[in-house]
Amino acid sequence: MDSSIKIGKVLGIPIRLHFTWFIIFGLVTVSLSLQYFPVTYPHWSKQLAWVIGIATSLLFFASVIAHELSHSVVSALNGVPVRSITLFIFGGVARISREAGKASSEFKMAIAGPLSSILIGGLFGLVWLLTRHNSEPVAALAMWLFRINVLLAVFNLIPGFPLDGGRVLRAILWRGMGDMKRATRIASWVGQGVAYSFILIGISAVLGIELLRIFSYELGWFGGMWFALIGWFLENAASSSYKQVLMKDILQQVTARDALISECDSVQPGTSLKSLVMNRVLPRGQRCFVVMDEGQMKGMITLRNIKSVPQGQWDYVSTEKAMTPVNKLDVARPDEDAGSLMERMDELDINQIPVVSDGRFLGLVTRETLLKVIRTRLDLKI
């Protein structure tokens, strides 16, 4: 089951909420409504504090979406489509279809987020200037949003991959060394170092040792726990991001022919869906079939095709009626690299691609076989 829900689209990009977003939204709203605003403005009523607290939280997360949208717009302008934006407990993440092809594109994509947060913070600062003498609630809201957006920009500029600052660092190293994989490895090491620093500072604060006291700032035990949690998240993100780059590098060295499943089960076009499910799918766990007629490929039928037909009609609906015709299939060439195939499978949300040469069906490349190739090469370190 997907752990996020789609709430709509902005600029054609799906916006999703991870279940952890509700946790942080609740914490921010409660903190603002029961602590920050009542303490800072004790003459406010409880109702006013809650109204401004909720409004501030919503505008804060709208700012996070704007931050991610700036990445997305620049990514699209540099030929890297964005599939979705997901908000979760630590902010937001834009899911791109592939890595940037050039260091300059990576730099522009990375720096766009912090710059947008600074711009948004500046806009809220202007609102504060315009309302501080005639609307205290609006001015209070604007001042908090000014500070948090500037803080968001500063935090994201920390050179810890995969934060924006870490991606800026990778772009600079990539440009200087001409090696994207090596630049990613170094940026990941820096990211892990930053993460371990966060964890050390956080755990020390929980134990009552305030390492940030030298900067006249104390975290307290709660802030320490939060700092350590952010560090743990950054460490995981840094190491996994480097592994993803390694996997993509491996896939670029493999062709469709290398990952081909030559023995792909076929089915006659007149076979009923019920017969297919009862005799082939359920007993053997097969999920995909090539529909063949007198040696010619007519199309493919998958579980998705089968599920699109009401179960009550399986007795009399044939595979030919339910299949995806060959002229509508996304096919691969034998010499096409596996990296582009994986990207296409992600973009199309499919699990297999037929490989065709001169109109002749050669077999399938599946997501599962590509993952096996990655695991084998990682184990052998080749």
Q: How many domains does the chain have?
A: 3
pLDDT average, residue stretch 158-168: 83
Taking only the tens place, the pLDDT of each residue in 103-127 is 888 888 889 889 999 999 999 999 9
pLDDT average, residue stretch 129-153: 92
The pLDDT value given to residue 126: 95
In this structure, the answer to whether residues 1 and 147 fall within a common structural domain is: yes
Q: Which of 189, 224, 252 is the last residue of a domain?
A: 252
In this structure, the answer to whether residues 53 and 148 fall within a common structural domain is: yes
The pLDDT value given to residue 128: 94
In this structure, the answer to whether residues 88 and 178 fall within a common structural domain is: no
Contacts of residue 242, defined as CB under 8 A and 6 or more positions apart, other chains included, come to: 161, 184, 185, 188
User: Which tokens go with 234?
Assistant: 């950054």
Domain-located, residue 257: no
Q: Is the pLDDT of residue 160 over 70?
A: yes
Rounded-to-integer distance, Cα 225 and Cα 232, Å = 11
Q: Which amino acid is at 305?
A: N
In this structure, the answer to whether residues 346 and 243 fall within a common structural domain is: no
Query: Do 159 and 125 form a contact (C-beta atoms < 8 A)?
Result: no
Domain-located, residue 117: yes
Query: 371: domain CATH number?
Result: 3.10.580.10
In this structure, the answer to whether residues 65 and 164 fall within a common structural domain is: no
Burial zone of 371 (CB within 10 Å; 0-12 exposed, 13-18 middle, 19+ buried): middle
Q: Print burial letters for 212-251: b (CB count within 10 Å at least 16), e (below 16).
A: eeeeeeebeeebbebbbebbeebbebbbebbeebbbbebb
In this structure, the answer to whether residues 88 and 172 fall within a common structural domain is: no
Range of the domain at 152: 1-157
Domain-located, residue 96: yes
In this structure, the answer to whether residues 1 and 108 fall within a common structural domain is: yes
In this structure, the answer to whether residues 67 and 137 fall within a common structural domain is: yes
Rounded-to-integer distance, Cα 206 and Cα 72, Å = 38
In this structure, the answer to whether residues 271 and 315 fall within a common structural domain is: yes
Q: Which of 9-18, 124-133, 199-208, 303-312 has the highest mean pLDDT?
A: 124-133
In this structure, the answer to whether residues 338 and 298 fall within a common structural domain is: yes
Domain-located, residue 83: yes
Q: Distance from first CA to last CA of the chain, Å, rounded? A: 35
Query: Cβ of 126: how many Cβ atoms within 10 Å?
Result: 12
Domain-located, residue 181: yes
Q: Which of 224, 252, 280 is the last residue of a domain?
A: 252
In this structure, the answer to whether residues 4 and 146 fall within a common structural domain is: yes
Domain-located, residue 125: yes
**pLDDT band at residue 381 using 50, 70 and 90 as cut-offs:** low
Question: Does this model's pTM top 0.75?
Answer: no
**pLDDT band at residue 211 using 50, 70 and 90 as cut-offs:** low
In this structure, the answer to whether residues 139 and 46 fall within a common structural domain is: yes
Domain-located, residue 287: yes
Round the CA-based radius of gyration of the chain to a whole number and report it.
Answer: 26
Q: Which of 117, 141, 157 is the last residue of a domain?
A: 157
Domain-located, residue 259: no
Closest CA to 202 of 222, 177, 184: 222
